[in-house]
């Protein structure tokens, strides 16, 4: 029975390595395809790409596949405990961790987009005070901030050829993190219909967006201790296993090979997951402005 988890762990490790290599090969083929005459810059060990033995070559792929560390940890525990259950648990945790990492990346992208919208408001207001027309100011500021994203061409076309700029901005505002552009669309509409000063409205909008961002950052700073407590709760079971090993016991054998230990493992795992979910829910609710 001991050879089964070892074999399974070896197969999983080989599969993970194969996935990483295939991804690198795909990236290399893409670079060579679009490099044209400069394709020799991507040769092995050339200036355009690190050498095969360099950690810089493999680090992006490893960082993008951090969820597979759950499978590796499960394989290690499977070998140490002579049971396939940790390997199965590690495989089940991979999609959950991937989802969590994707949500974190989306949150970071949302924050970057919101920051770009604030910069766009300030840049357009500055260009208007410098004597530029609204369409010209928007075209110049959009290229330097990147706040319009994939809809930049449509918005700039509307600004250049007399289209409906407020409606184009409202379409972009539906994207995640770009809701501040709805305020810019309102300022643009009021300035076009009533002749009000667009620069003054954008200044007030920028100040409001900055205040909302600062409030969100203050809340995150105040809740950093709570998130640290949640992380400590997540690590406590591992600390308990380490203490058992240090005292000369074999906690994995008890948990994986005895009925009482299996029951404790299931009940403890469910309680741990419920506690982490509930604590995270409370902290996330406190992060809302």
Predicted pLDDT of residue 28: 47
Both 171 and 113 in one domain: the answer is: yes
Q: What is the DSSP letter of 46?
A: S
Both 156 and 198 in one domain: the answer is: yes
Lowest mean pLDDT across 61-70, 122-131, 169-178, 195-204: 61-70
Q: What is the DSSP letter of 150?
A: G
Range of the domain at 130: 109-212
Domain count along the chain: 2
Both 200 and 136 in one domain: the answer is: yes
Is the model more confident about 220 or about 43? 220
pLDDT exceeds 70 at position 48: no
Predicted pLDDT of residue 31: 44
Query: pLDDT averaged over the chain?
Result: 77
Residues 6+ apart with CB under 8 A from 6: 78, 79
- Report which of 156, 121, 127, 287 is spatially closest to residue 217, judged by C-alpha positions: 287
Predicted pLDDT of residue 45: 40
Q: How confident is the model at residue 54 (pLDDT cuts 50, 70, 90)?
A: low
Number of Cβ atoms within 10 Å of the Cβ of 41: 13
Both 208 and 118 in one domain: the answer is: yes
How far CA 272 is from CA of 86, 122, 210, 258, 278, in Å, comes to 16, 47, 38, 20, 10
Predicted pLDDT of residue 39: 38
Asked whether residue 119 is assigned to any structural domain, the reply reads yes
Asked whether residue 54 is assigned to any structural domain, the reply reads no
Lowest mean pLDDT across 28-32, 167-171, 178-182, 239-243: 28-32
Q: How confident is the model at residue 36 (pLDDT cuts 50, 70, 90)?
A: very low
Predicted pLDDT of residue 60: 52
Asked whether residue 92 is assigned to any structural domain, the reply reads no
Both 121 and 160 in one domain: the answer is: yes
How far CA 208 is from CA of 55, 184, 220, in Å, comes to 44, 12, 19
Asked whether residue 176 is assigned to any structural domain, the reply reads yes
Predicted pLDDT of residue 184: 92
Asked whether residue 154 is assigned to any structural domain, the reply reads yes
Residue 8 and residue 85 in contact, taking contact as beta carbons nearer than 8 Å: no
Asked whether residue 31 is assigned to any structural domain, the reply reads no
| First-last CA distance in the chain | 54
Is the model more confident about 286 or about 115? 115
Both 124 and 201 in one domain: the answer is: yes
Both 135 and 163 in one domain: the answer is: yes
Q: What is the mean pLDDT of residues 21-39?
A: 44
Q: What is the mean pLDDT of residues 231-236?
A: 84
Lowest mean pLDDT across 52-56, 109-113, 255-259: 52-56
Predicted pLDDT of residue 51: 53
Both 166 and 253 in one domain: the answer is: no
Residue 135 and residue 198 in contact, taking contact as beta carbons nearer than 8 Å: no
Both 230 and 280 in one domain: the answer is: yes
Q: What is the mean pLDDT of residues 62-83?
A: 78
Asked whether residue 44 is assigned to any structural domain, the reply reads no
The highest-confidence range among 39-48, 148-157, 179-188, by mean pLDDT, is: 179-188
Identify the domain boundary among 212, 231, 263.
Answer: 212
Six token digits for residue 170: 């409202």
Residue 178 and residue 158 in contact, taking contact as beta carbons nearer than 8 Å: no
Both 253 and 286 in one domain: the answer is: yes
Greatest Cα pair distance in the chain: 81
pLDDT exceeds 80 at position 161: yes
Identify the domain boundary among 157, 188, 212.
Answer: 212
Asked whether residue 71 is assigned to any structural domain, the reply reads no
Q: How confident is the model at residue 278 (pLDDT cuts 50, 70, 90)?
A: confident
Lowest mean pLDDT across 18-32, 48-62, 138-152, 246-260: 18-32
Identify the domain boundary among 212, 246, 267.
Answer: 212
Both 234 and 208 in one domain: the answer is: no
Both 238 and 191 in one domain: the answer is: no
Distance in angstroms (rounded) separating the CA atoms of residues 49 and 211: 43
């Amino acid at each position: 029975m001991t050879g089964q988890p070892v074999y399974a762990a070896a197969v999983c490790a080989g599969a993970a390595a194969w996935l990483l290599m295939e991804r690198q090969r795909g990236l290399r083929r893409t670079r060579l395809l679009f490099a044209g005459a400069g394709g020799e810059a991507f040769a092995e060990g050339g200036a355009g790409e690190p050498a095969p033995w360099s950690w810089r070559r493999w680090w992006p792929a490893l960082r993008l596949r951090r969820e597979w560390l759950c499978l590796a940890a499960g394989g290690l525990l499977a070998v140490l405990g002579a049971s396939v259950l940790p390997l199965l648990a590690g495989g089940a945790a991979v999609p959950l961790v991937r989802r969590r990492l994707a949500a974190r990346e989306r949150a970071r992208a949302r924050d970057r987009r919101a920051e770009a919208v604030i910069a766009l408001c300030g840049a357009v207001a500055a260009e208007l005070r410098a004597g530029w027309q609204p369409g010209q100011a928007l075209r110049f500021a959009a290229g330097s901030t990147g706040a319009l994203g994939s809809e930049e061409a449509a918005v700039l076309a509307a600004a250049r050829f007399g289209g409906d700029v407020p409606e184009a901005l409202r379409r972009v505002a539906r994207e995640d993190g770009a809701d501040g552009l709805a305020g810019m669309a309102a300022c643009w509409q009021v300035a076009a219909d009533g002749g009000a000063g667009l620069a003054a409205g954008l200044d007030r909008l920028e100040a409001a967006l900055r205040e909302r961002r600062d409030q969100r950052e203050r809340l995150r700073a105040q809740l950093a201790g709570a998130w640290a407590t949640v992380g400590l709760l997540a690590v406590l079971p591992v600390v308990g296993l380490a203490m058992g090993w240090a005292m000369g016991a074999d906690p994995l054998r008890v948990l994986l090979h005895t009925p009482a230990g299996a029951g404790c493992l299931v009940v403890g795992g469910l309680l741990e997951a419920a506690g982490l979910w509930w604590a995270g829910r409370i902290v996330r609710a406190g992060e809302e402005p």
